[in-house]
Amino acid sequence: MQLDIQALYFDMTPGIEGAITRAAEQHMDRFDHAVKKLTVRVYDTNGLRGGVDKGCRIHSDLGRARALVVEAVDEDLYTAISRAFEKAERATSGRLQRQRRPTDRRLRATIRRGLEPMVAQPLG
Protein backbone atom coordinates (compact mmCIF):
# COMPACT_ATOMS: atom_id res chain seq x y z
CA MET A 1 0.00 0.00 0.00
CA GLN A 2 1.15 3.52 -0.76
CA LEU A 3 1.17 6.25 1.88
CA ASP A 4 1.13 9.96 0.96
CA ILE A 5 1.42 12.49 3.82
CA GLN A 6 1.34 16.27 3.38
CA ALA A 7 0.88 19.29 5.62
CA LEU A 8 -1.13 22.22 4.30
CA TYR A 9 -0.57 25.78 5.56
CA PHE A 10 2.25 24.84 7.99
CA ASP A 11 5.55 22.98 8.08
CA MET A 12 5.48 19.26 8.88
CA THR A 13 7.41 18.38 12.05
CA PRO A 14 9.01 14.98 12.71
CA GLY A 15 6.61 14.46 15.63
CA ILE A 16 3.51 15.00 13.51
CA GLU A 17 4.86 12.86 10.70
CA GLY A 18 5.71 10.11 13.19
CA ALA A 19 2.21 10.18 14.69
CA ILE A 20 0.64 9.90 11.24
CA THR A 21 3.01 7.13 10.17
CA ARG A 22 2.29 5.07 13.31
CA ALA A 23 -1.47 5.46 12.91
CA ALA A 24 -1.24 4.64 9.19
CA GLU A 25 0.83 1.51 9.89
CA GLN A 26 -1.81 0.26 12.35
CA HIS A 27 -4.49 0.96 9.74
CA MET A 28 -2.45 -0.86 7.09
CA ASP A 29 -1.93 -3.87 9.37
CA ARG A 30 -5.68 -4.32 9.57
CA PHE A 31 -6.74 -3.36 6.05
CA ASP A 32 -3.68 -3.93 3.86
CA HIS A 33 -5.63 -6.40 1.71
CA ALA A 34 -8.24 -3.76 0.85
CA VAL A 35 -6.59 -0.33 0.89
CA LYS A 36 -4.45 0.42 -2.16
CA LYS A 37 -3.40 3.97 -1.26
CA LEU A 38 -3.77 6.11 1.84
CA THR A 39 -3.54 9.89 1.44
CA VAL A 40 -3.30 11.93 4.64
CA ARG A 41 -3.54 15.72 4.73
CA VAL A 42 -3.11 17.66 7.96
CA TYR A 43 -3.91 21.36 8.03
CA ASP A 44 -4.25 24.44 10.22
CA THR A 45 -6.66 26.91 8.67
CA ASN A 46 -5.94 29.81 11.04
CA GLY A 47 -2.18 29.38 11.30
CA LEU A 48 -0.74 31.16 14.34
CA ARG A 49 -4.10 32.59 15.44
CA GLY A 50 -5.03 29.26 17.10
CA GLY A 51 -8.51 27.91 17.69
CA VAL A 52 -10.37 24.75 16.81
CA ASP A 53 -9.11 24.57 13.29
CA LYS A 54 -6.48 21.87 13.06
CA GLY A 55 -7.63 18.96 10.99
CA CYS A 56 -6.73 15.66 9.42
CA ARG A 57 -8.33 14.37 6.21
CA ILE A 58 -7.78 10.76 5.15
CA HIS A 59 -8.56 9.49 1.66
CA SER A 60 -8.53 5.69 1.36
CA ASP A 61 -8.39 4.27 -2.15
CA LEU A 62 -10.04 0.84 -2.04
CA GLY A 63 -9.49 0.06 -5.72
CA ARG A 64 -12.13 -0.47 -8.42
CA ALA A 65 -13.09 3.22 -8.26
CA ARG A 66 -14.09 2.96 -4.60
CA ALA A 67 -12.85 5.47 -2.05
CA LEU A 68 -13.53 6.68 1.46
CA VAL A 69 -12.85 10.16 2.80
CA VAL A 70 -12.98 10.94 6.51
CA GLU A 71 -12.03 14.07 8.39
CA ALA A 72 -11.60 15.18 11.99
CA VAL A 73 -11.03 18.69 13.35
CA ASP A 74 -9.81 19.56 16.82
CA GLU A 75 -7.86 22.19 18.72
CA ASP A 76 -5.04 19.63 19.08
CA LEU A 77 -3.65 18.23 15.82
CA TYR A 78 -2.63 14.92 17.40
CA THR A 79 -6.20 14.39 18.62
CA ALA A 80 -7.52 15.22 15.15
CA ILE A 81 -5.14 12.65 13.63
CA SER A 82 -6.21 9.98 16.11
CA ARG A 83 -9.92 10.65 15.58
CA ALA A 84 -9.56 10.69 11.81
CA PHE A 85 -7.90 7.27 11.83
CA GLU A 86 -10.61 5.92 14.18
CA LYS A 87 -13.24 7.14 11.70
CA ALA A 88 -11.28 5.65 8.80
CA GLU A 89 -11.13 2.29 10.57
CA ARG A 90 -14.89 2.25 11.22
CA ALA A 91 -15.71 3.40 7.68
CA THR A 92 -13.37 0.90 6.02
CA SER A 93 -14.62 -1.96 8.16
CA GLY A 94 -18.24 -1.06 7.44
CA ARG A 95 -17.63 -0.73 3.70
CA LEU A 96 -15.90 -4.11 3.56
CA GLN A 97 -18.70 -5.78 5.54
CA ARG A 98 -21.37 -4.33 3.25
CA GLN A 99 -19.36 -5.48 0.28
CA ARG A 100 -19.21 -9.06 1.56
CA ARG A 101 -22.86 -9.46 2.55
CA PRO A 102 -24.42 -10.19 -0.86
CA THR A 103 -21.71 -12.71 -1.64
CA ASP A 104 -22.19 -14.36 1.75
CA ARG A 105 -25.96 -14.60 1.19
CA ARG A 106 -25.52 -16.14 -2.24
CA LEU A 107 -22.98 -18.58 -0.86
CA ARG A 108 -25.29 -19.64 1.98
CA ALA A 109 -28.17 -20.12 -0.48
CA THR A 110 -25.95 -22.24 -2.72
CA ILE A 111 -24.84 -24.36 0.21
CA ARG A 112 -28.46 -24.84 1.36
CA ARG A 113 -29.47 -25.95 -2.13
CA GLY A 114 -26.53 -28.33 -2.22
CA LEU A 115 -27.51 -29.86 1.12
CA GLU A 116 -31.12 -30.56 0.15
CA PRO A 117 -31.80 -34.29 -0.15
CA MET A 118 -31.57 -35.54 -3.68
CA VAL A 119 -34.70 -37.16 -5.10
CA ALA A 120 -34.09 -40.27 -7.17
CA GLN A 121 -34.94 -39.70 -10.80
CA PRO A 122 -36.40 -42.66 -12.71
CA LEU A 123 -34.15 -43.98 -15.42
CA GLY A 124 -35.97 -44.28 -18.47
Alpha-carbon distances of 44 from 37, 49, 64, 79, rounded to whole Å: 23, 10, 32, 13
Checking if the pLDDT of 99 tops 80, the result is no
Considering the entire predicted model, what is its pTM?
Answer: 0.75
| H or E, element range at 52 | none
What integer is the mean pLDDT of 87-115? 74
Integer Cα distance of 8 and 44 in angstroms:
7
Pairing of the two strands 2-8 and 37-44: parallel
pLDDT of residue 34: 86
Structural domains of the chain ordered from first start: 2-111 (3.30.160.100)
Integer Cα distance of 74 and 84 in angstroms:
10
- 3-class DSSP assignment, residue 38: strand
